[in-house]
């Protein structure tokens, strides 16, 4: 059993590992200003404490003679913050700041009532203007027009906080190439240390790989002429089984496992050792975002394929027609979970039919008969069914492309969503590629020991 100190230390290590991981896999990772809603408890507590401090400062400066206790503390903090923003080669500027903000001299001036706050703040603003990122130039310049010393000091602290955040983000950007070169080794080392402190049988991961292996084996035995039902997908890559016909290859099992994460039911199934081991909470969040996009793209592609079949090539190839259908379908699916696709497809079928009718009229084609209109709407609405053949085929094709990435040749059904598919594929690939690099050895160990114990060496069990 770990002590509280050991638990806190372990939590810190997980936090460091997670931050390093985020910097590497998330190109957009950066610190951002936290803005609480005005009515939140955090906002009210923060505002109350800050108001009490700044009101106290105002009282001190309004006293006769003025009391400079708080001002001296603030100037010391401002000096330390500015010095922390300097780079190693700023040695001359560092000396100038130490001289201009000599705290011993400032304290003596305050004791003799000779502290010149306007001159000090003017120097501070000039130094901030030299050090700040271009995006903060306007903020610093605006402070030069603030005449109230209390308000000015308060605003200086606010802008300095932003400058500190800018410096951290600059450091992150500078470190990213170095971290990318060493991240796999670093995360493997930290993960091994965590396993030593927190022994785990990795039950969820083992169950996850077991399920994937069973599905790949079942798919390899099924006839290719019969499409698989949803939940038992077709093989996602070549070489689904090894040279031994009954044993799947490790790569195909892992690929199937990754694809299964996009069919996960949050709250009903446990992610593989979530919480800093195998899948961090942020990675789970990313996968859920990708899962939502994949589900929506499947519906969009299915709607377009059905519409193409019913409308014919003449209408479907008319300029802008496909884009309009895609735009309408995407808008009606925006933000909806898959549990609400049925009601969304009712609206989609009506809007698609309306778009088709207007396009037929504009192009001078005869309007659909009532039977053909009913067929179009009915086929679109039937996409909501899990066993819908079009939805299954589109889903399997989309899964193969997500795994194959650049080597995937798009089928007719996926061509209209090529751009969106590339974006989703990149997001999905960034998660699983790094995950495979870091945790591949652990996955292989589980496959060897538990999932595929009968695999021969030539089956590719020692590498992905």
pLDDT tens per residue, range 192-221: 877 777 666 677 888 888 888 888 888 776
pLDDT tens per residue, range 409-431: 677 788 889 899 989 988 888 88
By C-alpha distance, which of 296, 264, 262 is closest to 429? Answer: 262
Cis amide bond preceding 442, omega within 30: no
pLDDT at 345: 95
Torsion 441-445-446-451 (CA) sign: positive
Torsion 134-139-144-145 (CA) sign: positive
Confidence of residue 464 (pLDDT cuts 50, 70, 90): low
Residue 222 has pLDDT above 70, yes or no: no
d(CA 317, CA 104): 80
Compute φ and ψ for 311, nearest 5 degrees. Answer: -80, -30
Residue 78 has pLDDT above 90, yes or no: yes
Classified as helix, coil or strand, 263 is coil
Segment 332-336 shows an average pLDDT of 89
- As separate numbers, helices (DSSP H) first and strands (DSSP E) second, the chain gives 17, 0
Q: Confirm if 407 and 427 have CB atoms less than 8 A apart.
A: no
Residue 15 has pLDDT above 70, yes or no: no
pLDDT at 270: 64
By C-alpha distance, which of 324, 320, 327, 326 is closest to 302? Answer: 326
Question: What percentage of the chain has pLDDT greater than the value 70?
Answer: 80
**Position of tokens 């990795």?**
202
d(CA 456, CA 244): 8
Segment 141-157 shows an average pLDDT of 93
pLDDT tens per residue, range 378-398: 999 999 998 999 999 999 888
Mean pLDDT for all residues in the chain: 82
Provide the whole-model pTM: 0.64
Segment 218-228 shows an average pLDDT of 55
pLDDT at 227: 40
pLDDT at 455: 59
Q: Confirm if 241 and 386 have CB atoms less than 8 A apart.
A: no
Question: What percentage of the chain has pLDDT greater than the value 90?
Answer: 38
By C-alpha distance, which of 433, 462, 438 is closest to 191? Answer: 438
d(CA 187, CA 193): 10
Torsion 309-390-296-219 (CA) sign: negative
Which tokens in the block code for residue 9?
């230390």
d(CA 88, CA 320): 57
Classified as helix, coil or strand, 169 is helix
Which parts of 280-340 fold into alpha helices (H)? Answer: 281-311, 313-316, 321-333
Segment 148-158 shows an average pLDDT of 93
d(CA 237, CA 401): 10
Burial class (CB in 10 A: 0-12, 13-18, 19+), 107: middle
Residue 276 has pLDDT above 50, yes or no: no
Segment 85-104 shows an average pLDDT of 92
């Amino acid at each position: 059993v770990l002590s509280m100190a050991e638990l806190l230390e372990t939590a810190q290590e997980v936090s460091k590992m997670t931050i390093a991981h985020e910097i590497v896999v998330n190109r957009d990772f950066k610190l951002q200003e936290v803005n609480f809603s005005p009515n939140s408890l955090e906002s009210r507590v923060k505002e109350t404490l800050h108001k009490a401090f700044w009101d106290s400062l105002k009282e001190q400066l309004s006293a006769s003679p003025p009391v400079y206790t708080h001002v001296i503390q603030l100037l010391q903090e401002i000096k330390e913050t500015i010095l922390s923003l300097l780079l190693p080669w700023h040695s001359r500027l560092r000396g100038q700041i130490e001289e201009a903000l000599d705290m011993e001299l400032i304290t003596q001036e305050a004791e003799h009532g000779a502290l010149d706050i306007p001159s000090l703040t003017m120097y501070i603003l000039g130094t901030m203007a030299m050090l700040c990122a271009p995006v903060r130039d306007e903020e610093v310049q605006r402070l030069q027009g603030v005449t109230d010393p209390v308000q000015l000091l308060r605003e200086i602290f606010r802008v300095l906080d932003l400058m500190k955040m800018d410096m951290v983000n600059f450091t992150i950007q500078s470190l990213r190439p170095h971290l990318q070169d060493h991240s796999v080794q670093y995360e493997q080392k930290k993960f091994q240390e965590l396993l030593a402190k927190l022994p785990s049988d990795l039950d969820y991961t083992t169950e996850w790989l077991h399920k994937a292996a069973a599905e790949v084996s079942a798919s390899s035995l099924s006839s290719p002429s019969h499409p698989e039902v949803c939940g038992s997908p077709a093989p996602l890559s070549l070489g689904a089984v090894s040279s031994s016909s009954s044993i799947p290859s490790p790569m195909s099992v892992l690929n199937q496992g990754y694809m299964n994460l996009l069919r996960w039911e949050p709250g009903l199934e446990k992610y593989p050792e979530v919480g800093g081991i195998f899948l961090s909470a942020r990675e789970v969040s990313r996968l859920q975002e990708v899962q939502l996009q994949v589900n929506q793209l499947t519906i969009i592609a299915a709607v377009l394929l059905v519409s193409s079949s019913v409308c014919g090539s003449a209408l479907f190839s008319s300029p802008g027609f496909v884009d309009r259908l895609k735009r309408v379908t995407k808008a009606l699916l925006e933000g909806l979970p898959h549990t609400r696709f049925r009601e969304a497809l009712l609206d989609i079928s009506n809007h698609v039919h309306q778009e088709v009718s207007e396009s037929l009229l504009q192009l001078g084609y005869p309007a659909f008969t009532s039977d053909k209109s009913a067929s179009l709407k009915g086929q679109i609405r039937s996409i909501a069914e899990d066993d819908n053949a079009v939805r299954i085929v589109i889903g399997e094709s989309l899964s193969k492309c997500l795994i194959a990435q650049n080597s995937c040749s798009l089928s007719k059904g996926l061509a209209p969503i090529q751009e969106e598919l590339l974006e989703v594929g990149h997001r999905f690939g960034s998660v699983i590629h790094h995950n495979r690099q870091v945790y591949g050895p652990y996955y292989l160990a589980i496959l060897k020991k538990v999932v595929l114990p009968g695999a021969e060496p030539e089956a590719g069990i020692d590498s992905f």
